[in-house]
Chains A and B, each alone.
Chain A
Amino acid sequence: MRKSIVIGVDVGGTFTDILSLDEVLGEVHVEKVPSTKGDQSSGFLSGIMAATNHDLSSVSTIIHGTTVATNALLERKGAKAGIITTEGFRDVLEMRRRDRPTTWGLWGQFTPVIERKCRLEVPERTLADGTVVKEIAAASIEAAAKDLIDQGCESVCLFFINGYANKNNETKAAKILRQVWPNDYVSVATEILPEIREFERCSTASLNAYLQPVVANYLARLEDRIAKENSDSEILIVQSNGGIMSVDAAKAFPVRTALSGPAAGVVAARQIANAAGFLNVITCDMGGTSFDVSLVADGQNILTAQASIDFGMVIRTPMIEMSTIGAGGGSIAHIDETGLLEIGPDSAGSDPGPVCYGFGNDRPTVTDANLVLGRIDARKPIGNKLTALDRDAAVMAIKKHIATPLGMRVEDAAEAIVKVANSKMAGAIRLISIERGHDPKLFVAMPFGGGGALHAGALMQDIGLAAAIVPRYPGVTSALGCVMSDLRHDEVRTLNVMLNSLDDDHLHKLIAEMTSSAEGIIQQSNAKIESI
């Protein structure tokens, strides 16, 4: 039988979105099922079964945008991990780059994902020019590994100072460590990020170690469930850079899936806009708790070299640049101490969700305001979770919390909520464009997510955006993006020399090394390489 179907799966906080594409017939089928908390693979399977009439035999590929890594980081539910590092530097992860979470107020706190007693030092040292001044001894690695295993560590990060300049000591140590460590969960800093900047490298590798057991177990369960349906379809995972990778690569580098879900949506938005003839796009993903903005310039997604998932939780790996503000459909409208109307940062999220969901929240949200204004149809809520929205409850909430205190009519108060939310969104767009040196007036908006399109008109007017393009399936854009993503692998190296003293031969050798390393990873999934 011909395998002609490609399936994109995006697992979000509320819904799991499925988009199946028959590449031969050109048919598209869309499905939305409730996400299953605890084990996302269960909702995942029921979704793809529903989308294929319970027959996976013609499915060639399943491409998955996942939030398992994101959630494990935000909820601090990674594995117990350890670090083995250079003598004198066990605290790099905890010292960060000497910062604090907020400009005003000195009440910051930071708990590193790997606790101090699981951060062990071994004698070894390489200088910035690559000179090894102290060789690593096998015995010290074995002793440190034993200590960490005895402490109950499930995964381990190996990180040596100046490893980017010469990885010999770290590679030797890695070989020994892999021999004695009881599982595959060994994250080696220079394998993950061979770049200068010790905190960023150590943090990225540590988070990889922290995520590895969680993500690898999830993906193994997923493979199991698919295999049990007698399917041999290939599973691919969306990376934070918008490209996709094999399940094995995702198990080895789970840190690269930290923004997997949102990245897929931005990829789809870019491709839809480009297909419609627009190369400069601002993508606006409005979900339950947040409004995510990303920029496409000259047909390309803007990538950022690093991002913080939370204070001090730095991941340095190429990622689609996104700016997030707390103005989603579930963001709560309130009157602040001085009598000003404010939106967020508190959010009712998707659970309990807006007042109109009827799950117990009584503070008005942006979605409630849109409902009261008749901009959302109370009889036709999206997804299969609800049959109707409670408009009366939304009216009551806006009346009690906003209209009465401000002396306004309920409809005016609802309009005011939408206006202030629009203004916040417009601010986020202006800042992400100006910071990159782009004039927002040369861009079109591409709203997606549950509520994005509701605000597109106001955003165009406020910012002077050229146009807005609303995709055919705004609610499943991320699932669509999964299907549209290319296989991709980024390699980075630091070469710390002045241009005039650059050694050509050395540079060529380095590029050849990077090329073969990237080829190896891509070929794991039998794909054809388009460009390097």
Chain B
Amino acid sequence: MKTKETISDTMSKIKMDPVTLAILKGRLEQIADEMDATLFRSAFNPIIAEAHDASHGIYDAITGETLVQGKSGLPIFVGVMAFAVKAVIDKVARDGGLQDGDVYIFNDPYDGGTHLSDFRLVKPIYRNGEVFCYLASVGHWHDVGGNVPGNYNPEATECFQEGMLIPPVKLFSAGVLNTDIVDILSSNSRLPNSLYGDMNGQINALDLGKQRLNDLLDHYGEDNIKKALSLLKMRAERMMRDHLSALPNGTISVEDFLDNDGVNDVALKLAVDMTIKDEKLIIDFSRSSPACAGPVNISRSTTIAATYVALKHIFTDVPANAGVLQPVEFIIPEDSFLSVRAPKPVGGYTETILRLIDVLFQAFEHIAPERVNGCAYGTINALSIAGHRKNGSRWVMFSFFGGGHGGHPEGDGLNHGNAPISTATIPPLEILEAAYPVAFTQWALRPDSGGAGKHRGGLGAIYEIELLEKSATAFLFGERGKFPPPGVVDGGAGAVNKFYYDSDDDDAVNNKKSPPLVSKITGIKLRKGQRVRLETPGGGGYGKPADRPQHLIDNDIAQGYVSGENK
């Protein structure tokens, strides 16, 4: 209990009246929100403009820790940006020469988290000749080179097959744009115009952030803002420690699995030994699998960021800043697939961090059942169908598909939700049909896919797509084909991911096939009239199925959420 007293002591020494603090909290969060809004409005590519695959915040001048984050940024970015800023701070420490007006740019996933598509811009804010803090912007660019357009290459065995890798370099020196860097970036993308527009949107967001922050600093003074920032971080830390100290001490061991890495058909173990010690949380991933050949590895910073996302889903009231991770200690061996370095491929990082979040829900189930939910569908299901039209032009339909969320203390899981690491929506099927030569023959909830429980898991979906042109090829990058999303507190598991496609091959059964790696496959050949069918997992259940009231069971059957045949 020592630490708690220390924080409270420190907090009481920083004199700031609660009214000013409440106002400054709102103003600082708003600067990040305004940066988000600026980029969403000006980005060229729909992944940022429509799906909001971006994030902005204010970061500590020395440690790079997250001080303030926008409300609308992508959850996983909220966790990784501290590492991105730290990467720049380390680079400056090595090379020196940081000046007012500099902006660093990079996408190195091993130092800044996530994958190569995510470009980060980091800008120091100077006050009285010193760095007061950093502002940073991250956005998912449409194409960054590599073997496949869009950079989701399920067969990559090195990051060089996934795209260009840019270490932290100066995009601006003392306010002057380094056009050489822009030229290098542009010539390494299939979509240079989109890249240029997105990059400028990020530059504008940082400019606006700087202007707003300077206004605030002029009005309230550096000391007050500094005090407010440290108090806000300490508040989050204190809340987190309070939450942890309310839980029983002890170690919980949980493991879950990835089907395979897309290259070798061997399951990958994601194991956690989680220890609560008073108000400290020790998360040990030592028993997890070593680095693998295929692209489901992640870097250490991504592992920590994903843990942050899980903790924020469990302790939703703790403010989004570095204070959340302050009481958390990580043990991640260097040879783990959760701690890889270049050139190990990381393009499919989404699958691994979704599993990591599932594992943490399953761990907290044992000590805080009132805070957790059954696991969500647990896969991004990136499906691509591509071909050439009659006029020879190329088309690529690339999209992520949804599934069920887990049952939770308040009720049944949400049907057809988005991934816990994201807030992105799915494009309308009518837009997909208008843009590409396909017709959906089904776009429906998947009955019987929700895990049983007092509160049933939400339903996954069925997407069946027919090809309207002469020929096309398809690939899928999915997970949860062998290991279903578990329920919690005695709830049942959701249904596993299933994928079928029509095939003329001799080994097809009734002209249908499923991939040997269950939900990862490239090079599917389709001809006109043939279909692919994706049945996505539902969420895990919450609580004993026997505790489900009869009228809800009757309603599930009446509405067809449950067929009533085997269950």
Chain A residues with a Cβ under 8 A of chain B: 88-92, 94-100, 102-110, 115-117, 125, 127-128, 161-162, 164-165, 196-200, 337-342, 406, 416, 419-420, 423-424, 427, 430-431, 434-435, 437, 496
Contacts and interface: CB of A to CB of B under 8 A. Distances in A.
A196 B430 CA distance: 6
A206 B311 CA distance: 38
Contact of A109 (B23, B411, B426): B411
Nearest to B539: A106
A196 B560 contact: no
Contact of A196 (B235, B317, B434, B445): B434
B375 to A, nearest CB: 9
A104 B75 contact: yes
B443 A435 contact: no
A100 B418 contact: yes
Nearest to A200: B428
Contacts of B464: 88
Given A98-B425, A100-B417, 5 more contacts: A95-B415, A99-B425, A105-B313, A424-B26, A427-B30
Contacts of A96: 416
B263 interface: no
Contacts of A200: 428
Contacts of B416: 91, 94-96, 98
Contact of B433 (A106, A109, A116, A127): A127
A18 to B, nearest CB: 38
Nearest to B403: A98
Contacts of B27: 423, 427
B428 A127 contact: no
Contacts, number: 161
Interface in B408-436: 408-412, 414-418, 420, 423, 425-426, 428-431, 433-434
20 contacts: A88-B440, A88-B444, A94-B415, A95-B444, A102-B316, A105-B313, A107-B409, A109-B410, A109-B412, A116-B559, A116-B561, A125-B439, A128-B433, A128-B439, A338-B239, A341-B22, A423-B23, A430-B30, A431-B37, A435-B41
Interface string B345-388: 00000000000000000000000000001001000000000000
A95 B428 CA distance: 11
Interface in B99-126: none
Instruction: Please report whether the interface of chain B is mostly helix, strand, loop or mixed according to DSSP.
Output: mixed
A340 B22 contact: yes
Contacts of A496: 434
A90 B75 CA distance: 32
Which of A94, A106, A199, A338 is the most central at the interface, judged by chain B CB atoms within 10 Å of its CB?
A106
B27 to A, nearest CB: 7
B193 interface: no
Interface residues of B, number: 66
Contact of B406 (A91, A106, A341): A106
A424 B25 CA distance: 11
A161 B414 contact: no
A341 B445 contact: no
A71 B429 CA distance: 31
Contacts of B442: 88-89
B145 interface: no
Nearest to A423: B23
A128 to B, nearest CB: 4
Nearest to B243: A337
A106 B30 contact: no
B238 interface: yes
Nearest to B208: A434
Interface in B462-516: 464, 468
Given A108-B405, A110-B414, A127 B239 contact: no
B430 A197 contact: yes
A164 B412 CA distance: 34
Contact of B18 (A88, A91, A128, A339): A339
A401 to B, nearest CB: 14
Nearest to B409: A107
B443 A88 contact: yes
A423 B26 contact: yes
B294 interface: no
A104 B316 contact: yes
B246 to A, nearest CB: 12
A98 B179 CA distance: 40
A90 B38 contact: no
Which of A99, A110, A128, A200 is the most central at the interface, judged by chain B CB atoms within 10 Å of its CB?
A128
Contacts of A431: 30, 33-34, 37
B417 A117 contact: no
B518 interface: no
A498 to B, nearest CB: 11
B430 A164 contact: yes
B414 A100 contact: yes
Contacts of B420: 106
A338 B235 CA distance: 6
A197 B428 contact: yes
A400 B491 CA distance: 44
B492 to A, nearest CB: 18
